Amino acid sequence: MKQLIIDEITGRLKALQIPYALSGDSVTVGTEFVEIGESSDLKKVRYDLTITVDETSRSVVVYVSTVDKYIITADGTLPPGESGKPAHVFRKVKHIMIGPDGESTLVTLDLADIPNTAKACAVRYGWKFSTVLNMSKKPPVLLSASERVKELRINEDMDLSDVYGLVDELTVPKRPRRKKGGFFSRLFRRKK
């Protein structure tokens, strides 16, 4: 089942002639496209995509990131020096495809096409699907549950007697007792 999903995703990438790397359960894309903006700004779009297929949890996780770099602005001035995070991750960009006869054509490509293909595969086979836009807030499932258990398993040959001895010596200090009532009840208390 996992291999069917990976084959369908890589087949779509081959059809679009987008270079990708396949490592284990993950398909990774790191390439650049050209975007011509509404005001005819010319930008390079750095597109990073990682699709992870986890068979134990039956889930497909997609991490997407794009960074814009201006080539030339609409008024002909030099572009700003820094790269910027775009307002829209999924948008239409230009991509050069080379036909079997060797001729190249400029094709408009929707950046949401590949994540949508992964989502369609996951739904078709009854798997869960999620998209991650920020790795620091919610990292994708890169390890299967069985690999996590192997990492957490303690080696039985280890001598943990000194660690357990430290636990017995530690005492937890008692917290002082709180006053009854909150701030306002103490502030507006009736006088006797």
Q: Give the pLDDT confidence of 83-140 residue by residue, as tens digits.
A: 455 555 666 777 666 677 877 777 777 888 888 888 898 899 899 998 877 665 544 4
Q: Lowest mean pLDDT: which of 36-50, 100-114, 120-134, 156-170?
A: 156-170
Name which of 9, 101, 91 is nearest 51 in CA terms: 9
DSSP H helices, 125-182, are 145-152, 161-169
Q: Lowest mean pLDDT: which of 63-72, 93-102, 105-114, 174-183?
A: 174-183
Q: How many CB atoms lie within 10 A of CB 108?
A: 9
Residue boundaries of the structural domains of the chain: 2-146
Q: What is the mean pLDDT of the segment spanning 171-176?
A: 64
Dihedral through CA 67, CA 72, CA 75, CA 80, nearest 10? 50
By CB atoms closer than 10 A (0-12, 13-18, 19+), residue 130 is middle
Contact 29, 95 (CB under 8 A): no
Q: Which residue has the higher pLDDT, 37 or 25?
A: 25
Instruction: Specify the CATH number for 2-146; select among 3.30.310, 1.10.3210, 3.40.50, 3.30.2170.
Output: 3.30.310
